[in-house]
Amino acid sequence: MGTTFLTAVRGRSGRLLHAAAAALTTPLLPADYLALFDPLLGGRWPAGRVESVRPETAEATTLVIRPGRGWGGFRAGQYVPVGVDIDGVLHWRTYSLSSAPGRPGEPFALTVKALPDGLVSGRLAQDTGPGTVLRLGPAQGDFTLPEPLPERTLFLTAGIGLTPVMSMLRALARRQGGRNASAGDVVLVHSAPDRAATVFGRELRVLSRRMPWLRVHLHHTRTSGRRLTPQRLSAVCPDWRERQTWTCGPGPMLDALRQHWHEQGPAVERRLHLERFRPALPAAASGAGAEDGLIRFQRTGVDVPAGAGVPLLRAGEAAGVAMPSGCRMGICFGCVASLVQGRVRDLRTGEITGEPGTLVQTCVCTAVGTVAVDL
């Protein structure tokens, strides 16, 4: 009681002090000045510093990151936008956190797999040493465990899709103190090419030995020469229909699982929780050329066919979306919107860009194939 009161007073006087300092730095914040000394001090644009780097497999790496001020923590299973400076440009990508949530300010872990031509994933997984500063967005996503925990849980993962589930398992292990069986009954079925390519393989074996509530089944596709099919799932986890299931992995796998659960009827389907690393977009209208696609206005919930050479601004306006605009010719930046997915062509230069989070000028950019914008 006493400490709560003290914290409240400290919190209150801290806020007053901050408001007073902000009156002196207006229109900036005191944090903007502090960030000059160390980006981790500037709470307005949170950042973290890589403390250590640990290889998991030949392609996947875990980065342990100490977050600076202003970063709000996360729940097990969530992902976080990370801004990586490459040649002066911050490239933003989201990655699932693999560590269990700790106390505020405690380091957390990201596990990143280098994609074949992934500019950012390659840089993070292979080329980022301790001391590197990364920018952080707020953790997000609702691929998390409910409270209270379900009695029976199934985790169904493949490849790097294990990351968010690893965070949940670690959180459960920490919470249960390792001995208490009230985490319910948890089965993890994880598919990876072979033993060497299994992320967290050793830790999973240790966990399953120590935690009575956890059963781990590792499926190695390359060694066994077989994919993990629904039939095989029934063999390792016969009661899968009754379990709350969390699954994360490649898109085709998720599609197949969803179909399979769907066929069991709504009661079973409701128990399936999916996490996609990329949101699914509807395919282009049939019969359309390769360049044709769709513009999805995410917030408005409107889909418009992407006419060749038609600026996003005009396509949106024609569909009744409230589009911000100004000069309508690419000079005022009054029309920018954040790209959620897909690629756009700048009509002035022909340049094609397509990174999630890029701000695009909708008046001079046209969709290349299917895109989603945050409008």
Partner 1 sequence: MSVQTIPRPAPEAASPGPASYGPASEEARARAFGEALDLLRQEVIAERGREDARYIHTLIALQRGLECGGRAALAISLLPPAWPAGTAMLTTAKILENMELGHNILHGQWDWMRDPAINSATWEWDFPTPAEAWKHTHNVIHHTFTNVVGKDRDLGYTILRMSPDQPWRPAYLAQPLYAALIAPVFEWAIALYDLEVDAVATGRKSPRALLRDLGALGRKAVRQAAKDYLLFPLLSGPSALPCLLGNLTANTVRNLWAHTVIFCGHFPEGAQSFTEERIEGESRGQWYVRQAQGSANIEGGTVLHILTGNLSHQIEHHLFPDLPSNRYAQIAPRVRALCEEHGIPYTTGPLLRQYTSVWSRILRLALP
Which residues in this chain contact partner 1 in the complex, by CB under 8 A? 23-24, 26-28, 32-33, 35-36, 42, 44-45, 83, 85, 87-92, 135, 326-327, 329-334, 336, 348-349, 351, 357-359
Give the nearer residue to ligand FES in terms of CB position, either 247 or 361: 361
Measured CA to CA, the distance from residue 218 to residue 371 in angstroms comes to 37
Query: Amino acid letter at 233?
Result: L
Shortest Å, Cβ 367 to ligand FES: 15
Binding site partner of 363, from partner 1, ligand FES, none, Cβ cut-off 5-8 A by kind: ligand FES
Does 128 participate in binding ligand FES (rule CB under 6 A)?
no
To the nearest whole angstrom, how small is the minimum distance from the Cβ of residue 84 to ligand FES? 27
Contacts of 26 (CB under 8 A, 6+ apart): none
Please choose, from the candidates 179, 181, 182, 143, the residue with its C-alpha nearest in 3D space to the C-alpha of residue 162: 143
Question: In angstroms, what is the minimal distance from the CB of 364 to ligand FES?
Answer: 6
Q: State the nearest-atom distance from the C-beta of 40 to partner 1, in Å.
A: 14
In angstroms, rounded to a whole number, what is the distance separating the alpha carbons of residues 339 and 241?
A: 38
Question: At 227, which amino acid appears?
Answer: R
Token pair for residue 165? Answer: 């589930």
State which residue, 93 or 113, has the beta carbon closest to partner 1: 93
Extract the tokens encoding 134.
């990364």
- The number of residues that bind ligand FES (CB under 6 A) is 12
CB 303, min distance to ligand FES, A = 22
Q: How far is the CB of 332 from partner 1 (least distance, A)?
A: 4
Check residue 193 for interaction with ligand FES (CB under 6 A): no
Do 137 and 80 meet the contact criterion of CB atoms below 8 Å apart? yes
DSSP label at residue 161: G
Helix (H) or strand (E) holding 201: helix 201-210
What is the three-class DSSP state of 147? coil
**Rg of the chain, C-alpha, whole Å:** 23
User: 102 or 334: whose CB is closer to ligand FES?
Assistant: 334
Q: Which does 141 bind (CB under 5 to 8 A by kind): ligand FES, partner 1, none?
A: none
Three-state DSSP class for 172?
Answer: helix
50 or 363: CB nearest ligand FES: 363
Minimum separation from the CB atom of position 46 to partner 1 (A): 10
Closest CB to partner 1 among 126 and 333? 333
In the complex with ligand FES, the residue whose CB is nearer, 47 or 364, is: 364
| Residues from 328 through 357 that contact ligand FES (CB under 6 A) | 328, 330-335
**Which residue, 112 or 367, has its beta carbon nearer to ligand FES?**
367
Using CB distances below 5 to 8 A depending on partner kind, what does residue 212 bind out of partner 1, ligand FES, none? none
In angstroms, the CA 165 to CA 173 distance is: 12
User: Minimum CB separation from partner 1 for residue 6, in Å?
Assistant: 28
361 binding ligand FES? (CB under 6 A): yes
Concatenating the DSSP letter of every residue in 280-323 gives --PPPPTT--TT-EEEEETTTTEEEEE-TT-BHHHHHHHTT---
Q: How many angstroms from the chain centroid is the CA of residue 270? A: 22
Residues between 306 and 325 with contacts to ligand FES, criterion CB under 6 A:
325
Choices 27-35, 93-101, 110-118, 326-334; region in contact with ligand FES by CB under 6 A: 326-334
What DSSP string describes 56-89?
Answer: -SSSEEEEEEEE-TT-----TT-EEEEEEEETTE
Q: In this complex, which beta carbon is closest to partner 1, that of residue 112 or of residue 336?
A: 336
Q: Which residue has the tokens 């994880």?
A: 190
Question: In terms of CB distance, is 156 or 363 closer to ligand FES?
Answer: 363
Q: What is the helix (H) or strand (E) element at residue 267, kind and residue range? A: helix 266-269
Burial of residue 246 (CB within 10 Å: 0-12, 13-18, 19+) is buried
Q: List residues binding ligand FES (CB under 6 A).
A: 325-328, 330-335, 361, 363
